[in-house]
Amino acid sequence: MLKFPAKVLLLGEYTILNGSRALALPYPELWGKWSFDVSDSPERTTSRKSLHGFLSFDSGVYIDRSKMEEDFEKGLWFDSTIPQGFGLGSSGALIAAIFDRYAFHKKPGIESKAVLASLESYFHGSSSGLDPYVSLVQKPLLIRSFSDVEVLETKINLSGFFLVNTGKPRQTGPLVAIYQEKMKDPEFKKGCADVLSRDVNFAVEAMISGEKQSLSHHLWHISKFQWDFFPEMIPTQMRGAWTRGIESGDYVLKLCGAGGGGFLLGYSEKLSLSEIRKVFSEFEIKELA
């Protein structure tokens, strides 16, 4: 069966709420797919429980509930390697799979994002629809705003990027609430709207154009800003490595999504992947390219 990949929000975490650009891409190393395997496993049990809850959700206007219920009775579950609560779009991949298999009207292009957002609201209360849309189209997205999203046909050069598994799951909602509280501070708001958003926009442009020198410069500034203003979002066990990167210039770390745990995004022009693994020997490192 078709596999639905995880997603990585490469650039634009939090600042997208203030109007900056963002760049999201599929991460096919982690994926989910439908299965009718009846083997007794914790993963199958958890997935079936989640699907049962979803079927009680008022989604009939968008999907063929009777067909999905029929498949559920036959043993349907979502076999996924995407860890939950790590910011890689585990629910987005599931919603993309539900849309692909059961949607009444599979509208082409961005029109499907609103439907995906409505379906994913079962898991998050509210959703932009971007996570399932990335998993569905399986191509990078340039996000100029929540209503202006472009599917990129050209391949993004991801050399130098890596993911660091903090080993700690997190919930997005409380972290977004912290951010929204911070936005009440005029100094913080000005910094996010003017300083951080500017660097994010420049970094997005550098990614698309392939200007590595400019990219490295702006990623350093993003890392430093997040260190100064987002301490609650940086897991305790990663703070030493974060500051060493800023001070040495050998690599930089930044949030990958909401932060607080899950995966962090790293970038280095100087160190090879094997050298990065030595630096982060206590953590799982995944190559993004």
pLDDT in tens, 155-194: 899 999 999 999 988 877 788 888 888 888 888 888 887 8
Is residue 125 predicted with pLDDT exceeding 90? Answer: no
- Residues 6+ away with beta carbon under 8 Å from 35: 1, 44, 76, 77, 78, 79
pLDDT in tens, 229-259: 999 899 999 999 999 999 999 999 999 988 8
Residue-number span of the structural domain to which 189 is assigned: 161-287
Rounded CA-CA distance 113/133 in Å is: 6
For residue 248, the one-letter residue type is S
Phi, psi of 177 (to 5 degrees): -65, -40
In a shared domain, residues 283 and 179: yes
Residue 212, pLDDT score: 87
In a shared domain, residues 140 and 12: yes
Rounded CA-CA distance 280/133 in Å is: 32
In a shared domain, residues 138 and 65: yes
Chosen domain end from 121, 151, 181: 151
In a shared domain, residues 133 and 234: no
Q: What is the CATH number of the domain that holds 274?
A: 3.30.70.890
Instruction: Characterise 224 by phi-psi region: left (phi > 0), alpha (psi -120 to 50), beta (else).
Output: alpha
In a shared domain, residues 124 and 250: no
Which residues pair with residue 267 across a beta bridge?
Answer: 161, 252
Kindly state the average pLDDT of the residues 51-64: 83
Percentage of residues in the chain with pLDDT exceeding 70? Answer: 99
pLDDT in tens, 97-124: 999 999 988 876 777 898 999 899 888 7
Residue 126, pLDDT score: 75
In a domain, 156, yes or no: no
Average pLDDT over the chain, rounded to an integer:
91
- Residues 6+ away with beta carbon under 8 Å from 249: 220, 270
Residue 259, pLDDT score: 86
Residue 108, pLDDT score: 63
What is the number of structural domains in the chain? 2
Chosen domain end from 151, 170, 188: 151
In a shared domain, residues 145 and 78: yes
Which residues pair with residue 5 across a beta bridge?
Answer: 31
- Residues 6+ away with beta carbon under 8 Å from 48: 72, 76, 77
Chosen domain end from 119, 151, 183: 151
**Half-sphere exposure at residue 123, Cβ-oriented, CA atoms within 13 angstroms:** 25
In a shared domain, residues 29 and 136: yes
- Position 60 confidence tier, pLDDT thresholds 50, 70, 90: low
Q: pTM value? A: 0.92
Residue 80, pLDDT score: 97
- Residues 6+ away with beta carbon under 8 Å from 84: 90, 91, 169
Q: Which residue has the higher pLDDT, 174 or 280?
A: 280
In a shared domain, residues 140 and 190: no
Q: What is the CATH number of the domain that holds 18?
A: 3.30.230.10
In a shared domain, residues 65 and 142: yes
Can you give the length of the chain in residues? 289
